[in-house]
Amino acid sequence: MKLSRAKKLALISVILLVFDQVVKILVKTNMHLGEHFNVLGNWFQIYFIENKGMAFGMQFGGEIGKIFLSSFRVVLVVVIFFYLKSLLKRKAPWGVLIGVLLIMTGALGNIIDCMFYGLIFDSSTFMHTASLFPTLGGYAPFFLGKVVDMLYFPLIDTSWPQWVPFIGGQHFIFFRPIFNIADSCITIGSLYLIIFHWKFFSKSMK
């Protein structure tokens, strides 16, 4: 049976979402905060942290900021969904559809954390591994769950030369942020569209 483009996109989105959530749940239920192990040398590690706000571990304005950010993500996903539907009707190039789909799927992956993880997990700490569906209930109300991050790529781990003004001798790591698969989808989709399909969007704006 030949799948339509819409069904192919839906299948890709579901596969990425399931992959994202399975990895997060495995990390959350098997590792305590700050625990890490090497995957490929020292430059690719699984390093478990959680964040209350934006992608790559950034924070945003406490609980009110968290609710605002989560609500914004929901609105963004809805807008992107309808935009994707319009692109399908316009028979946009497959690459454009994939790029937009990656952004939408990534945003949705982190929305799931914010909406449900506080309800279905107890707290992860530096000494305690979280349980799924704990008898005493979750660690946070609906919409106030934390996003699980685990992908860490310290490709360069060194110190600045002593002769560098102000920062000489200080520890330097690149790439320092820790992120997840959903973040990767957003970043890859955005960069892909900017690099390879900017002409499509520039024509659409005329």
- Decide if 118 contacts 132 (C-beta within 8 A): no
How far is Cα of residue 195 from the mean position of the Cα atoms in its chain? 21
Active-site pick, 20, 113, 122, 149? 149
- Secondary structure (DSSP) of the chain: -PPPHHHHHHHHHHHHHHHHHHHHHHHHHH--TT-EEEEETTTEEEEEEEESSSGGG---SHHHHHHHHHHHHHHHHHHHHHHHHHHHHTT--HHHHHHHHHHHHHHHHHHHIIIIIHHHB----SS----BS-TT--SS-TT-PPEEEEEE---EEEE--TTSTTTTT-EEEES--EE-HHHHHHHHHHHHHHHHSHHHHHHHT-
Whether 149 is a known active-site residue: answer: yes
Structure tokens at 20: 């994202």
Active-site pick, 20, 113, 122, 183? 183
Structure tokens at 107: 């945003």
Question: What's the sign of the alpha-carbon dihedral 8, 9, 10, 11?
Answer: positive
Whether 183 is a known active-site residue: answer: yes
Active site residues per annotation = 149, 183
